[in-house]
Amino acid sequence: MVKKRLFGTFGVRRVANEVLTPEFASRLAVSYGTVNSGRIAIGGDTRTSTKMIKDAIASGLLSSGCEVVDCGILPTPALQYAVRHYYDGGIMVTASHNPPKYNGIKFLDEFGIGIADEMDLAIEDIYFDGEPKRVSWNEIKEKFLNDRVIDEYINEILKRVDTEAIKKANFKVVLDPGSGAGCFTSPYLLEKLGCKLITLNAQADGFFPGRNPEPTEPNLDTLISAVKEFKADIGFAHDGDADRTICIDEHGKFVQGDKSFALVEKLMLKNRKKGQSGLIVTTVATSSAIEEIATKNDGEFIATAVGDLIVARKLHEENGLFGGEENGGLIFPDFVYGRDSALAVAKILEIMAIEGKSLSKLVEELPVYYSQKNKIECVDEIKEEIMDKISEEVSNLGFNIDRTDGVKIFKDDGWVIIRPSGTEPIFRSFSESKSQEKAIELANWGIDLIKKHKDEIES
Ligand code: MG
């Protein structure tokens, strides 16, 4: 029998009040409380279903004997910050960048990191087959409110950047938090940094009326026009739970996440104190520019499997300096063990202020790589076999490979990574090279390899 699984790469995400009902949330929470007890912080994003689910979670936690601290509506990283400093664990109610009908539950451990696989499995076991812990009536603890997390989180960010330099630069900024949890943090942060601020979608609204919560280029057309219209220095956008930041440069150009990652990486390596780790962590699917910058600046570099949680855990284990992903998720492990959008905003402004250069100029100075992403349909059952066959074939051809996640094949002029989707019956072939033509050629080669072995297995 295939084991029933509830958790994706970071918690549970379902349609609210269909699958994700109060009963479901409450049972999950009591299962969590059975595995991890103590004083547990809860919080959520701006979705219409968040309060309903958060209250059910509070009940489940109390039933298992936990003390509950409700931190209200706030970004995921703000709750992660609070858990790391004050609590024994946390539960965040959010569906991140997904459309408004969805909601989700992210579980945190005592460091504020998304819980490890073993704990996921332990919670699932109790949820499906076990008997959760229910304390007797006289052992039920209190539920408290903590409405001071956001202020402390913003003040901590201000301590981590050169606020005087940023204030002096007098930036004009357009901010689009997309009606998500970032409405409660980024506008206040930018004001404290002395920016002339123009906001779009800065009213919290669970219907996300202004735009889809995912900060992709097509979803940010209004922000892009506003940056041009107001002649702003930069535009910032967040996703629903404000753990990701995407930048628009002063010409209204969408800046890819790996570019902002590379910019902040350079600053972090340059500003590191004597004796401080220079370890940069990202995934095998992120641009080689990240490794190149680490090497050039006397840093070290580790590439993990894909997933922000895996990067965050590695940074924690190895005491790393900085990490992230190509989608605008930047992780500052001395602050929060997870993607943090608000410190990313402050750091990018700090770079512009200190260097005295526009964002487009700073991006221009980064190593240039081109990428290409293709996909092909493939049933789940034969994905593993295809990857093994491809590994064997390309190893025999003399190419170096990396099996951390999928199959990454290194050639003289670039690399291609072949990865099966975890949620759809497809394979992705993602490549990077010094020219666009070459990147396309590599990605097509990856697809040809998959096709060849798929046909062989199926015939
Ligand atoms: Mg998110």
- 60 exposure class (CB count in 10 Å sphere: 0-12, 13-18, 19+): buried
* pLDDT value at residue 10: 56
Which residue, 403, 393, 383, 349, is CA-closest to 194?
Answer: 349
* pLDDT value at residue 328: 82
Q: How do residues 45-54 score in pLDDT, each as one tens digit?
A: 999 999 999 9
Distance 148 CA to ligand 1 centre (A): 22
Q: Are 303 and 283 in contact (CB under 8 A)?
A: yes
- 27: number of CA atoms within 13 Å, CB side? 15
* pLDDT at 459 > cutoff 50: yes
What is the average pLDDT value for the chain, to the nearest integer?
Answer: 95
* pLDDT value at residue 1: 42
List for the chain the helix, strand, coil content (%; round to 5). Answer: 40, 25, 35
**What are the boundaries of each domain within the chain?**
12-147, 152-253, 257-364, 370-458
* pLDDT at 424 > cutoff 90: no
- Residue 172's pLDDT band (boundaries 50, 70, 90)? very high
Other CB atoms within 10 Å distance of the CB of residue 131? 8
Of the residues 64, 96, 179, 391, only one is catalytic, namely 96
Distance 338 CA to ligand 1 centre (A): 10
For range 251-268, the mean pLDDT: 97
Q: Are 349 and 234 in contact (CB under 8 A)?
A: yes
CATH fold match for the domains 257-364 and 370-458: no
For range 129-137, the mean pLDDT: 95
Distance 241 CA to ligand 1 centre (A): 5
Neighbours of ion ligand 1 (CB under 5 A): 96, 239, 241, 243
Angle between helix 436-458 and 383-396 (nearest 10): 120
* pLDDT value at residue 13: 82
Q: How far apart are CA 166 and CA 218, in angstroms?
A: 30
Q: How far apart are CA 354 and CA 343, in angstroms?
A: 16
Other CB atoms within 10 Å distance of the CB of residue 14? 20
* pLDDT value at residue 133: 96
Tell me which fold the domain 370-458 belongs to. TATA-Binding Protein (3.30.310)
Distance 242 CA to ligand 1 centre (A): 6
Distance 199 CA to ligand 1 centre (A): 20
Angle formed at CA 128 by CA 127 and CA 131, multiple of 5 degrees: 60
Q: What is the DSSP string of 358-379?
A: -HHHHHHTSPP-EEEEEEEE--
Right CATH number for 257-364 from 3.40.50.150, 3.40.120.10, 3.40.50.360, 3.30.300.10?
A: 3.40.120.10
- Residue 227's pLDDT band (boundaries 50, 70, 90)? very high
Right CATH number for 152-253 from 3.40.50.10860, 3.30.70.270, 3.40.120.10, 3.40.50.2000?
A: 3.40.120.10
The CATH code belonging to domain 12-147 is 3.40.120.10
Distance 395 CA to ligand 1 centre (A): 37
Distance 384 CA to ligand 1 centre (A): 29
Q: What tokens does 102 get?
A: 């969805």
Cα dihedral 198, 252, 181, 303, rounded to 10, equals -150
For range 121-136, the mean pLDDT: 93
Distance 325 CA to ligand 1 centre (A): 12
Q: Are 50 and 135 in contact (CB under 8 A)?
A: no
- Give catalytic status of residue 96 as yes or no: yes
Q: How far apart are CA 390 and CA 409, in angstroms?
A: 10
End-to-end CA distance of the chain: 27
pTM as predicted:
0.94
